[in-house]
Amino acid sequence: MNKLTLKDLYFKFRDPETIKALKKEIEKEAVNLKEPLRIMEICGGHTHTIMKYGIKQLLPENISFIHGPGCPVCIMPKERIDHAITLSHQKDVILATLGDMIRVPGSKSTLAKARADGANVVPLHSTLDVLEIARKNPNKKVVFFAIGFETTTPMTAALMHTAFKQNLKNIYYHINHVLVPPPMRAILDSGEAKINAFIGPSHVSVITGAKAYEFLVKDYNTPVVVAGFEPVDVMESILMLIRQKIKNTPKVEIQYKRATTYEGNLLAQEMINRYLEVRDTFRWRGLGDIPHSALKLKDEYEEFDAEKIWADILPNEPINDHKLCICGEILKGLKTPKECSVFGSACTPANPLGSCMVSDEGACNAYYRYER
């Protein structure tokens, strides 16, 4: 039997006939819903799939999407961006971070502007590139501004593990890794966004396992389906959610079985727990302070903790977004990008006023690309 090529796999999960068949089945079963199905997709990758492939337009009127805080760049508050900019201007510091962060606006500037002004800011293609930067610059302090959900956290832990093994002591860490379940709880507890189902993130769930969402069923009686990123994945997940709602049997299901398990990646979890621990609280853009929603370095590694080493010069006061930007309301699931007065005019990917327009995973970016 011939093995499927990557091209074959892509076509399988984007096959128009399969999508049409799923559309027909969704329409057939959706008439039995007792209330409209309001699905929040947590991952920005799902938002882009929904927009790019016109999935909203394929669904009956009693099914809608509510975009959630699924973009780690988008939820980063301005004061944390200001931390990175401040560090980049320090003598003998090289500030290294993943590419999306470079253009995110802080209170007065961006890392891109800091770089243009002479700061040593290095956009990374891979977290492990930090090792080579540190080796080539032994007299510099290399600060890695770490960002991302559970998906990218193992890479930061792996960087630390390798750096310590290689005795590279000029790497410092500013940890901004955030966790998916706490904002889901915060959004439901607020009662503002009318959500009654979730599409769970795929890549995050590869690390955490689907078990991370059991609290949504237990505490909120809300169904969750962990979905892959392709249009067939999303359509099949919607059908699974419909069937749960009709039977009134909320549970955590895995549609993305080709990569996700209930327990998750135990080796990655062990690596994370070796170096990082949960913070008491973390401020999310738009959602405010959420308890136990982010990670920090363990105290035993505090000599490498950039937040502690440069604590005297790093701003800590909350900073509000641009007064015309509604990114916070979008991240809460209360508004869509099209409700923003500056969307597509004063705020574009080339000139973003808010973080939701900067990142490839941001909702505003998705709407700008596919539904202007």
pLDDT tens digits, one per residue of 185-202: 999 999 999 999 999 999
Residue 366 carries which side chain, given as an amino acid letter?
A: A
Among 182, 257, 237, which Cα is nearest to 65's?
A: 237
Q: Which domain holds residue 342?
A: 327-370
DSSP per residue, 311-347 = GGGS--S--PPPTT--HHHHHTTS--GGG-TTBTTTB
Percentage of the chain surpassing pLDDT 90? Answer: 85
pLDDT for the residue numbered 177: 98
pTM of the model: 0.93
Task: Give the residue ranges of the chain where pLDDT is below 50.
Answer: 1
Query: What does the pLDDT look like over 271-323, one tens digit per residue?
Result: 999 999 999 999 998 889 999 999 999 999 999 999 999 999 998 888 888 88
Shared-domain flag, residues 142 and 290? yes
Shared-domain flag, residues 85 and 159? yes
Shared-domain flag, residues 219 and 107? yes
Instruction: Establish if 26 belongs to a structural domain.
Output: no
On whether the CB atoms of residues 52 and 370 are closer than 8 A, the answer is yes
Shared-domain flag, residues 156 and 199? yes
pLDDT for the residue numbered 8: 63
Instruction: Establish if 240 belongs to a structural domain.
Output: yes
Element (H, E) at 145: strand 141-148
pLDDT for the residue numbered 105: 87
Shared-domain flag, residues 192 and 236? yes
Shared-domain flag, residues 354 and 288? no
Exposed, middle or buried, 70 (CB in 10 Å: 0-12/13-18/19+)?
buried
Instruction: Establish if 111 belongs to a structural domain.
Output: yes
pLDDT for the residue numbered 3: 64
Rounded CA-CA distance 307/276 in Å is: 14
Instruction: Establish if 207 belongs to a structural domain.
Output: yes
State the total domains in the chain: 2
Instruction: Establish if 24 belongs to a structural domain.
Output: no
Rounded CA-CA distance 192/197 in Å is: 15
Query: What does the pLDDT look like over 169-181, one tens digit per residue?
Result: 999 999 999 999 9
Rounded CA-CA distance 325/333 in Å is: 15
pLDDT for the residue numbered 1: 45
- Report residue 81 CA to chain centroid gap: 16
Shared-domain flag, residues 263 and 336? no
